[in-house]
Structure 1
Amino acid sequence: MIIIRKSFALSGLIICLLAGMLPMLKVPIKGNWNLYQTDVLLFFITYMIIGITGLFFFIRQLVGYRWMTLIAAGWYIISITAVFFKINNYFGWGFADHLLSRSLHMRWGWIVYLIGIVLLLLSVKKLKQIEE
């Protein structure tokens, strides 16, 4: 039996949706970039995963919701790793990459996105059924 904590689920979904608009990278001349400005494909896949998770929550498809929260957590790890490696190996040249990695910085939007993902993961609780 799967139990969903609705307050955690709704707050996690809202925080994840808002986190894509928060600053994710600090670019020297242009300022702060959100997830869309960082990578468009990453933005669309992230919002598609969050949208499907929200859809499963609202139609009460509990097994699908549980799987989508796990997929969202895995996608968070993949996306933050991809952005980190893109910053540190952008040109493929040692000097230019070293210079770029010192000028680009991860921002606090990743932490807010992580909080949303943790709330989504905490919203699902699987209980073993007791057979009578």
Structure 2
Amino acid sequence: MYILRKPIALLGVAAAALSTIFCPFLKVPIKGNWNLYETDTSLFLITLGILGLAVLFFVSRKIAAFRFVSIAFFIWTILGLVAVYFKINNYFGMKLVDGLLAKTLHIKWGWAVLILSAVIMVLSVGKVKEVK
């Protein structure tokens, strides 16, 4: 049986939703900081879709499903960070140009906020011994 710590879960969901919009995820030299939507639109939409599922299961009190979606969200954020990193380092397929691009584009602290909020969501669900 699982128990859901509702304030902690809401904190994780709110931090994840707000970080995708307001936190910088990528530093582009001329344009400045990009949020997740400007970094990759499909990554942004899938991230908010997974968060929407988490909110749906939170409201309908499906704790096991919320736990599963929270773990999937954590894996998705790690996968998104790795995908953006490899996209920066292997964009053109030419070593010289990719090296120059990798030196100009920098991953920012928004990824840390998103991953931390995913960890908070995962840790908000705990196992409890059943009482007889």
TM-score interval for Structure 1 and Structure 2 normalised by the shorter chain = over 0.9
User: Cα offset for 1:86?
Assistant: 0.3
Q: 2:51 & 2:19 partners in 1: Cα distance?
A: 11
Tell me which residue corresponds to 2:15.
Answer: 15
RMSD: 0.9
Q: 1:54 & 1:31 partners in 2: Cα distance?
A: 32
User: Cα offset for 1:7?
Assistant: 1.2
Q: 2:75 & 2:29 partners in 1: Cα distance?
A: 30
1:31 pairs with 2:32:
yes
1:4 pairs with 2:4:
yes
Paired residues for 1:33-52 under 5 Å: 33-52=34-53
- Gap regions ≥5 residues in structure 1: none
Asked if the contact 2:78/2:115 (under 8 Å) is kept, the reply is: no
Tell me which residue corresponds to 1:118.
Answer: 119
Q: How many residues align?
A: 131
**3-state DSSP of counterpart to 1:117:** helix
User: Cα offset for 1:113?
Assistant: 0.7
Compute the TM-score of the two structures, normalised by the length of structure 2: 0.96
User: Cα offset for 1:126?
Assistant: 1.6
- Gap regions ≥5 residues in structure 2: none
Letter in 1 for 2:101: L
Letter in 1 for 2:18: L
User: Cα offset for 1:118?
Assistant: 1.2
Q: 2:64 & 2:116 partners in 1: Cα distance?
A: 22
Letter in 1 for 2:58: F
User: Cα offset for 1:35?
Assistant: 0.4
- For residues 57-108 of structure 1, the C-alpha deviation after alignment (integer angstroms, 9 at most, x for no partner) is 0110111101101100110111000000000001000000000000000111
